[in-house]
Every structure is written in C-alpha cells, then in structure tokens.
Amino acid sequence: MSAQVDAASEGDVTASAEASLFRPFQLGSMTLRNRLVMAPMTRCFSPGGIPGPNVAAYYGRRAAGGVGLIVTEGTAVPHAAACNDPNVPHFHGEAALAGWSHVVREVHAAGGKIVPQLWHVGLVRRPAVDNLHEPSDNRAVAVSPSGMISPTEQAAREMTEREIEQVIEAFATAAASSERLGFDGAEIHGAHGYLVDQFFWAPTNRRIDRYGGDAARRGRFAAELVQACRRVVRKDFPIILRISQFKQQDYSAKMASTPKELEQLLAPVVAAGVDAFHCSQRRFWEPEFPGSDLNLAGWVKKLFGLPAITVGSVGLDGEFVSSLLAGASCRMTRVDRLLVMLERGDFDLVALGRALLVDPSWPVKIQRGAFDELSAYDSAVLKSLI
C-alpha cells in the first residue's frame, strides 16, 4: 500500500525534510550523516547468542539505505541472568564478539555508524528459559531491585549490593568490548521495564538503601552503570541511555509524574557522564506532561540540554502495540508533524523501527520525496526480519 500524500505540498515537505532530517550531527566522536536512527528491535535470530552473517547483512542493508545511526537489538551483557531467550545475541564470548565485529564492518562499509544496545532483562523473562534458580543447582539467580516484576507480583528476592556490583561490572565489560570491536558508541537499555528501568520505577524498586527511595536514589543504579562504562572507554566515546515512561508490564506507568521528578531521577545519570538520552514513547507526538506539548525527548532536552533521540510510531499511522496483532497493518504517513518538532529544537535525532523493517531504503526515499514508493507495514513481516 502506498502512502497517502497531498501532492500539492509534497515539494514543501521534501524541502523541509532535506533541511531538518538530513543535516549532519555530532555526538561525541560520532559524525552522523543525518538525524535518522535505526531503533533497537529484538529479533531472536542469533542461535546460541551468536550473531551470524545474516545479522550483519540485516544491519548492512539499513546502513546502505541511508540511516545515519544504527542501534542494535538488545544484546546480553556478560551476566548469567541477563538474557531472556536463547536466540538473543550475546555481547560476550569469543564467537559472539567475532560476529559483532563482522556487523560493524558491514555497517561502516555502507557509510553508517552503529552502537550496540547493552541489555539486562532483570525479571522480565520467558518461562522457557530455565536458568533462574538458586545457586544450589549451579544455575543463575534472577536479579531485580526488590524482587518485584510488577507492582503486585514478587518473583525473586532483593538484589544484594554485591550482585549490583557484578551487574555494573558486566555492563562496563560490554562497553569496553564495544569500543575494542570498533563500534561508534554504546547504548544502555534503561527502558520498558527491564532491569535498569526496574530501579527507576518506584513500584518495582522498594529498596530502603542508597539505591531506592526518592527519585535521585532510584537513579543511582543507572548513574553507576554510566560511570563504570565511562571509566573504561575513551572520553569522546558516546554513551547513550534509553529510557521510557511506559513499561511492558504497564503501558500507563510513569517513572516520573512531573518534570521535577524526571529531573531528580536523571540528574545523577547526567552527572555520571551520559552523552545522550534515547526517549521511547508509543506515539512520539503525545505530550508527556500537562501544560506543555513537549514529548518525553523534548522534556529531557529542556531539562538537561543534552542530545535527545525521539522514537515512537515515526512514519506510520498506527502505534507499536496494535501493529503486533495478527494481520495488522499500518500505512506509511508523511512526517510533517515530526519535522515541526525537530525544527523547533525539541530533539536532535529521530529513531525509526517498523518503517525500516519493511523498507530499508526509507531514508533515501524520504530525502528524494518518493512518498508513493514507501512500503506499508504488515505484521506478517515479523516472521521474516531479514
């Protein structure tokens, strides 16, 4: 299905997109050719945790299609309980890291930049992954701030401070590996109800020590992760933190109910040396707090002045969750509203997910105004994300 476009204004939209989306951007040592980012999307196409040539080809095609920065799917840091699926790629071990080295070469050869998303799922796990037991059977212990998987469900005990230190060490090891392999930066997954976000979110963080309580203390774990990663990479190696208000456990959840609480929560992370925030929403155009039309990325940039990435149903007429239903499809839409927000400085970079799944050449088509060539998104594409 082709996009529905008002032909009378196509030229204006194309010119605006050229001026806004296709300007270079500097993030630490990264010079991005445009403002478009490939969002991280879990694929489970790496048997045994090892990304193969198909994974390199998948990212290489998107780089060749013109996207400026690629954030990989979530990759498991070197901690025994980090992963929730045997086919999710690891970011540790000789074979997995060799696979990622191949990915980096493919993306760079196509003119793109790439960062890995470093991930620990905490208590968000699939029952089929049978490694969540106590050390008596020599398998991994599930970890989370307070053992809470949701506001009402407790599934494990509270992490000890030594376990917190071990997870922080795992992220730092992964960050050092990302620089060594030639990645252009690293992103920490702090969104969507996974481990880092479980510390941010008060209902899953009921600790009474320095890692829990008020907003600033709930931000301490993420801050220590960033600080540990910063210590093992060069000064200009970009570290990005992905955040979200919503959780997969609760789409209406908020880690911060007001701009002031958001500022208190993230200020420790900023002080620790994070370079940018990747702000995930289900719909990028929705205001985050009453009294302002700023979205989450807009508020983060306003509060801290750091580069911000927005994401959430960009380029599509349907939001993420509904598009996962069997037989669901979304039309491609123009990006008029996005351009207005970008041009006024609400955020600096724009991440796309499903649009790039079905159309790796989305960036170059938008740049030349070929709106009628954009592919529609259909849920059937989830069966073949190659």
Check if the beta carbon of residue 314 is closer than 8 Å to that of residue 281.
no
Catalytic (active site) residue 58: no
What does the alpha-carbon distance between residue 91 and residue 120 come to, in Å, rounded to a whole number?
Answer: 11
* Backbone phi, psi, residue 352, to 5°: -120, 145
The structure tokens 């702000």 sit at 279
Query: What residues contact residue 34 under an 8 Å CB cut-off, 6+ apart?
Result: 21, 22, 23, 24, 25, 66, 67, 68, 363
CB-CB contact of 205 with 259 (8 Å): no
The closest alpha carbon to 98, from 41, 58, 53, 39, belongs to: 53
Task: Mention every residue, 6+ apart, whose C-beta is less than 8 A from residue 235.
Answer: none
Token readout for 186 is 């690293």
Catalytic residue among 194, 211, 251, 377, which?
A: 194
| CB-based contact 256:306 (threshold 8 Å) | no
Distance (Å, whole) CA 82 – CA 142? 9
Question: What tokens does 160 get?
Answer: 């000890």
Nearest-angstrom CA–CA distance, 77 and 251: 26
Residues acting as catalytic residues:
194
